[in-house]
Amino acid sequence: MDVQIVLPIVLGISVVALIVAAVLAREVLSAPTGNADMQRISDAIRQGAEAFLSRQYRTIAVLSVLAAAAIFGFYAWNAEVPNIKQMGAGTAWKVTISFLVGALCSAIAGYIGMFVAVRANLRTAQAATMSLNRALQIALRGGAVSGLSVVSMSLLGVGGLFYLFGGMQDYQHVPLQIVGFGFGASFVALFAQLGGGIYTKAADVGADLVGKVEAGIPEDDPRNPAVIADLVGDNVGDCAGRGADLFESTAAENVGAMILGIALFPVFGLGGILFPLLARAFGLIATIVGVYMVSCREDEDPMNGLNRGYLVTTILAMCGFVAAVKLLLASPGTIEVHNGYLIMAGFVGILTAYAFVWITQYYTEYKYRPVREIAEASKTGPATNIISGFAVGLECTGPPILVISTALLAAYWFGRLALPTMDPMSAGLYGTAIATMGMLAPCAYILAMDTFGPITDNAGGIIEMSKQPEEIRHKTDRLDAVGNTTKALTKGYAIGSAALAAFLLFSAYLDEIHKITGSHMGVDITKMPVFVGGLLGATLVFVFSALAIKAVGQAAQVVIQEVRRQFKEKPGIMQGTDQPDYAACVDIVTRGALKQMIAPGLLAVLTPVAVGFAFKYLGAAMGFGNQSGAEAVAALLMVGTIAGILLATVLNNGGGAWDNAKKYIESGAFTVDGKVVGKKSEAHKAAVVGDTVGDPFKDTAGPSLHVLIKLLSTITLVLAPLFIL
């Protein structure tokens, strides 16, 4: 295959995917919008979400411009330092532009996803009054708008910058210059996920504590002034936040794999560098087919329909992967290449994705032992419920890590078998890169399933608040339950890909240092700066989580006070004679969440920078050589990633398990001494406590940790040359 046409093909497929996204959006938007009651509620959600996003983006824009200025300043100031100089002409502005484009694309991707999601909720609700299948399709297609645009924007951004910066000629330097794209994406993602995550849980916890606990009104009751803020939260946290999260994943991993491709240039030429983009583009086509295949019978579990679509997507993605390997990773004849082993490495990645999805289900669904144990523990009150849930969270780190360890070793092994005459280290690393590409092939479909969650959640809320008949509620409840499952699966998938990608990005970082200094960098943890760097990296993860969790509590306090004020000043609200001021609540959570996202965000960004610069000089003064800064940051990144994967798993799965233990008790299947124990029982009250504790864990701190892990990678990739004396 002529390598010159790869980039046009990738960009072409991306544009086609965007067009398909537009078609899907049109289809969703032209669906019927239900009665006036439903529209009023949906409008309020839409306005709240858009108001939050526009304010959030303004804050993030200011921070991004400051960060861009700092990056430009760092590079321009050091332009004459040999390390920087040899990165090629115009590095300072190229890195900075990449950063800004990455930030912008991330923001656009988040916006598009949410634009459709806050409209798809109403259409899904309306469709549910007619047909379950139609509702399922509208919700998934709404989600697919997000999934397709995220992945294609990332391909357009990386591929476009590579082309514009002249990567087809200067392939050695350009990937190092476009690392800024990944950093821009993670920078925006960090604040988007933090802000959205804080918003959604502050509104949720606040609404529940005043509504359910103090005023004694049910969840989603229209008399609760915070109820709209709660529904808005689902969109800004799950749609916009997770969209930005997965956008940066695809962006960072594309760039990382391209950098590793440079090392294999003698083997595959430009094809090795462009392979990640082509494999991902084929995955886009697979997703489009998969999404259009989804349907379900009226009496069927909608999850079956989604699973069929996932299976089709995965099979097609595997075929596309094989094709991409055959087309681009062929041997030029001079070096021995066993294509089959590279395909095996890719399949390792795809199997890992499956294993993670299965493990997450095991630990968070109430069909299985762990959640049932939590429900059992609820019998003796909230304390034992919490202890049991926390133990499940800690315990469930074991199986995923065994899977990841096996996957890393297997992929490494296949890489070496595929390239037997190559330097074994590079060959093995390329094997793990291929596995990561395999895992990420069906990414757009996974993202569509993720956004499906808040759309169906919102649809349920609209049906509930507009007081539709029982059988329609039943349909949206079923969709909502499926949405909860898909949200949990996506988090498992996000962690798995973060873990696999961490090694890829880390290797890219080392390769970058190698290119700059000409010598291979080891990260020897027996050296003091390296050990201290690792210690600080793990601590960053813990303190960051603390700040994220506390932020929810503080923002929730503001909501509680506002709702209390409204109940006090307008007693008619509770009697149903007066309208609550939804907008005031939305506004107050918005301000609270934006204020609270700053501290954890800055901590995450500044810690690696501070460690890098501190050890650049301190390490050298202590006799550890001129790469001490880079080595300390490498340890910070690696140990921080390990700690982050573990803590995020604890928080996500613990939270999910608590949530479903409550749902299990509510389901009516839970018995004590042969008698059914359900809602309003003491066990249920205890389970509600666990569910509330899990909320900020699984929807704020956990997902923010995914972003943090990748931010650490991209920030070190961008600043690596500056950490070397």
Under a CB-based contact definition with an 8 Å cutoff, are residues 47 and 118 in contact? no
Q: Compute the least distance from the CB of residue 681 to a copy of itself, in Å.
A: 15
3-state secondary structure of 33: coil
Smaller CB separation from a copy of itself, 173 or 416: 416
Smaller CB separation from a copy of itself, 385 or 714: 385
Smaller CB separation from a copy of itself, 142 or 382: 382
3-state secondary structure of 672: strand
Q: Compute the least distance from the CB of residue 203 to a copy of itself, in Å.
A: 15
- Residue with tokens 């861009």, as numbered in its chain: 68
Answer left, alpha or beta for residue 300, where phi above 0 means left and psi between -120 and 50 means alpha: beta
Q: Compute the least distance from the CB of residue 542 to a copy of itself, in Å.
A: 4
Smaller CB separation from a copy of itself, 105 or 207: 207
Q: Compute the least distance from the CB of residue 347 to a copy of itself, in Å.
A: 19
Under a CB-based contact definition with an 8 Å cutoff, are residues 434 and 341 in contact? no
Smaller CB separation from a copy of itself, 140 or 560: 560
Structure tokens at 298: 């009226």
DSSP assignment of 626-677:
TTHHHHHHHHHHHHHHHHHHHHHHHHHHHHHHHHHHHHHHHTT--EETTEE-
DSSP assignment of 89-134:
TTHHHHHHHHHHHHHHHHHHHHHHHHHHHHHHHHHHHHHHTT-HHH
Q: Closest by alpha carbon to 244, among 158, 284, 186, 195?
A: 186
Smaller CB separation from a copy of itself, 183 or 390: 390
H/E stretch holding 332:
none
Smaller CB separation from a copy of itself, 426 or 485: 426
Amino acid at site 518? G
Smaller CB separation from a copy of itself, 401 or 602: 401
Q: Closest by alpha carbon to 50, among 141, 118, 136, 120?
A: 118
Under a CB-based contact definition with an 8 Å cutoff, are residues 344 and 639 in contact? no
The DSSP call for residue 5 is: G
Q: Compute the least distance from the CB of residue 429 to a copy of itself, in Å.
A: 8
Alpha-carbon distance of 117 to 354, in angstroms, equals 27
Q: Compute the least distance from the CB of residue 205 to a copy of itself, in Å.
A: 8
Smaller CB separation from a copy of itself, 376 or 477: 376
Smaller CB separation from a copy of itself, 101 or 418: 418
Q: Compute the least distance from the CB of residue 545 to a copy of itself, in Å.
A: 5
3-state secondary structure of 671: strand
Q: Compute the least distance from the CB of residue 624 to a copy of itself, in Å.
A: 9
Alpha-carbon distance of 4 to 8, in angstroms, equals 8
Q: Compute the least distance from the CB of residue 78 to a copy of itself, in Å.
A: 25
Q: Closest by alpha carbon to 721, among 645, 613, 637?
A: 613
Structure tokens at 24: 């899907």
Smaller CB separation from a copy of itself, 154 or 607: 607
Smaller CB separation from a copy of itself, 452 or 615: 615
Alpha-carbon distance of 517 to 709, in angstroms, equals 26
Q: Compute the least distance from the CB of residue 646 to a copy of itself, in Å.
A: 5
Q: Closest by alpha carbon to 281, among 92, 494, 13, 519?
A: 13
Smaller CB separation from a copy of itself, 58 or 520: 520
User: 487 vs 94, 239, 494, 699, CA distance in Å?
Assistant: 37, 11, 11, 10
Alpha-carbon distance of 378 to 394, in angstroms, equals 18
Q: Compute the least distance from the CB of residue 11 to a copy of itself, in Å.
A: 34
Amino acid at site 333? G
Q: Compute the least distance from the CB of residue 241 to a copy of itself, in Å.
A: 20
Alpha-carbon distance of 343 to 351, in angstroms, equals 12
Strand partners, 672: 675
Alpha-carbon distance of 431 to 264, in angstroms, equals 11
Q: Compute the least distance from the CB of residue 200 to a copy of itself, in Å.
A: 15
H/E stretch holding 325:
helix 302-328
